[in-house]
Amino acid sequence: MATVASDRLFGKSIKRREDPRFITGRGQYVDDVKIPGMTYAAFVRSPHAHARIRKIDTAAAMRHPGVVAIFTGKDMTGVNSLPCGWDLRKEKNVPGVVQDLAMVPHMPLTSDAARHVGDPVAVVIADSHEAAIDGAEKVQVDWEPLPAVTVTERAAASGAPKLHDGAPGNVAFKWEIGDRAATDAAFKTAGAVTVKKRIVNQRLVANAMEPRACLARFDDATGELTLWVTSQNPHVHRLLMCAFVLGIPEHKVRVIAPDVGGGFGSKIFLYNEEVVCSWVSRRLKRPVRWTASRSEAYLTDAHGRDHVTDAEIALGRDGKILGLRVKTTANLGAYLSTFAPAVPTFLYGTLLNGVYAIPAIHCEVTGVFSNTTAVDAYRGAGRPEACYVVERIVEAGARAAGMDVADLRKKNFIPKFSGAFQTQVAVVYDSGDYGAAWDRMLQMLDYRKFRAEQEAARKQGRLLGIGFSAYIEACSIAPSKLVGALGAGAGLYESGKVRVHPTGMVTVYTGSHSHGQGHETTFAQIVADKLGIPIEQVEIVHGDTGSIPFGMGTYGSRSASVGGTAILMSLNKVIEKGKRIAAHLLEASPKDIDFSGGQFQVKGVPGKAVPFGAVSLTAYIPHNFPEGVEPGLEETSFYDPSNFCFPFGAHACVVEVDRDTGNVKILRYLAVDDVGNVINPMIVDGMVHGGIAQGVGQALCEGAVYDGQSGQLVTGTMMDYALPKADMLPMYETDRTVTPTPVNPMGVKGAGETGTIAATPAVVNAVVDALAPLGVDHIEEMPMTAQRVWKIIQGAKGAR
Which of 454/756 has CB closer to another protein? 756
Which of 50/305 has CB closer to another protein? 305
16 binds another protein (CB under 8 A): yes
342 binds another protein (CB under 8 A): no
CA–CA dist 38, 772 (Å, integer): 61
DSSP labels for 61-116?
A: HHTSTTEEEEEEGGG-TT--PPPPSB---GGGT-TTEEE--------SS-SSEE-S
Binding residue (CB under 8 A) for another protein from 8, 180, 283, 294? 294
Q: Which stretch binds another protein (CB under 8 A): 106-114, 256-264, 311-319, 656-664?
A: 256-264
66 binds another protein (CB under 8 A): no
Q: Which stretch binds another protein (CB under 8 A): 181-189, 192-200, 254-262, 735-743?
A: 254-262
Least Cβ distance, residue 26 to another protein (angstroms): 7
Which of 72/680 has CB closer to another protein? 680
544 binds another protein (CB under 8 A): no
Map 325-377 to HEC letters: EEEEEEEEECCCCCCHHHCCCCCCHHHCCCCECCCCEEEEEEEEECCCCCECC
**636, burial (CB in 10 Å: exposed 0-12, middle 13-18, buried 19+):** middle
Map 596-629 to HEC letters: ECCEEEECCCCCCEEEHHHHHHHHHCCCCCCCCC
Binding residue (CB under 8 A) for another protein from 1, 8, 12, 32? 32
Which of 3/24 has CB closer to another protein? 24
Binding residue (CB under 8 A) for another protein from 2, 5, 15, 247? 15
Which of 521/737 has CB closer to another protein? 521
95 binds another protein (CB under 8 A): no
Q: Which of 352, 435, 451, 441 is nearest to 394 (CA)?
A: 352
Whether residue 38 contacts residue 215, with contact meaning beta carbons closer than 8 Å, is answered with yes
Q: Which stretch binds another protein (CB under 8 A): 273-281, 287-295, 427-435, 568-576?
A: 287-295
36 binds another protein (CB under 8 A): no
Conformation bin of residue 169: beta by default, left when phi > 0, alpha when psi is -120 to 50: left
Site for another protein in 630-689 (CB under 8 A): 682-683, 685-687, 689
732 binds another protein (CB under 8 A): yes
DSSP labels for 731-776?
A: -EEEEE-----SSSTT-B---SSHHHHHHHHHHHHHHHHHHGGGT-
Which of 266/373 has CB closer to another protein? 266
Which residues make Cβ contacts (< 8 Å) with residue 279, sequence separation at least 6? 76, 79, 108, 246
260 binds another protein (CB under 8 A): yes
Q: Which stretch binds another protein (CB under 8 A): 61-69, 238-246, 290-298, 433-441?
A: 290-298
Which of 28/93 has CB closer to another protein? 28
Least Cβ distance, residue 119 to another protein (angstroms): 20
DSSP 3-state assignment of 298?
helix
Q: Which of 211, 245, 209, 199 is nearest to 225 (CA)?
A: 245
Binding residue (CB under 8 A) for another protein from 10, 29, 290, 468? 29
Q: Tell me how far apart the 2 most distant CA atoms of the chain are, in Å.
A: 92
Which of 21/791 has CB closer to another protein? 21
320 binds another protein (CB under 8 A): no
Query: Beta-carbon neighbour count of residue 725 at 10 Å?
Result: 10
Least Cβ distance, residue 580 to another protein (angstroms): 41
Which of 691/747 has CB closer to another protein? 691
Least Cβ distance, residue 763 to another protein (angstroms): 13
Q: Which stretch binds another protein (CB under 8 A): 20-28, 335-343, 501-509, 581-589?
A: 20-28
Least Cβ distance, residue 611 to another protein (angstroms): 32
CA–CA dist 194, 201 (Å, integer): 22
361 binds another protein (CB under 8 A): no
Least Cβ distance, residue 128 to another protein (angstroms): 9
783 binds another protein (CB under 8 A): no
DSSP state of 242: I
Q: Which stretch binds another protein (CB under 8 A): 277-285, 650-658, 714-722, 737-745?
A: 714-722
**Whole-Å CA distances, 497 to 164, 618, 630, 633, 638:** 44, 20, 17, 11, 9
How many positions of this chain bind another protein (CB under 8 A)?
60
Q: Which stretch binds another protein (CB under 8 A): 454-462, 467-475, 702-710, 728-736?
A: 728-736
693 binds another protein (CB under 8 A): yes
How far from chain centre, in Å, is Cα 143?
36
18 binds another protein (CB under 8 A): yes
Which residues make Cβ contacts (< 8 Å) with residue 669, sequence separation at least 6? 651, 652, 653, 654, 692, 696, 729, 730, 732, 733, 759, 762
Which of 481/665 has CB closer to another protein? 665
Which of 187/669 has CB closer to another protein? 669
Give me the helices (H) in 188-247, please: 234-239
Least Cβ distance, residue 712 to another protein (angstroms): 16
Site for another protein in 208-237 (CB under 8 A): 208-211
Q: Which of 496, 346, 353, 437 is nearest to 676 (CA)?
A: 437
CA–CA dist 566, 494 (Å, integer): 6
Site mask for another protein (CB under 8 A), range 502-541, x = bound = -------------xxxx-----------------------
59 binds another protein (CB under 8 A): no
Binding residue (CB under 8 A) for another protein from 2, 5, 28, 794? 28
Whether residue 43 contacts residue 273, with contact meaning beta carbons closer than 8 Å, is answered with yes
What is the chain's length?
Answer: 800
795 binds another protein (CB under 8 A): no
Binding residue (CB under 8 A) for another protein from 3, 7, 25, 461? 25
E strand segments, 460-592: 463-472, 494-500, 506-510, 538-542
Whether residue 469 contacts residue 765, with contact meaning beta carbons closer than 8 Å, is answered with yes
Binding residue (CB under 8 A) for another protein from 479, 564, 649, 755? 755
Which of 717/794 has CB closer to another protein? 717
**Whole-Å CA distances, 709 to 48, 147, 295, 706, 715:** 11, 9, 20, 9, 15
Handedness of CA 220, 225, 228, 229 (dihedral sign): positive
Whether residue 396 contacts residue 195, with contact meaning beta carbons closer than 8 Å, is answered with yes
CA–CA dist 434, 429 (Å, integer): 12
CA–CA dist 393, 410 (Å, integer): 15
Least Cβ distance, residue 293 to another protein (angstroms): 5
CA–CA dist 259, 261 (Å, integer): 7
Which of 40/271 has CB closer to another protein? 40
Which of 29/335 has CB closer to another protein? 29
718 binds another protein (CB under 8 A): yes
443 binds another protein (CB under 8 A): no
CA–CA dist 86, 304 (Å, integer): 17
**Residues of the shown chain interacting with another protein in the complex, contacts defined by CB under 8 A:** 15-16, 18-29, 31-32, 34, 129-130, 207-211, 259-262, 264, 291, 293-295, 515-518, 682-683, 685-687, 689-694, 717-719, 723-727, 729, 731-732, 755
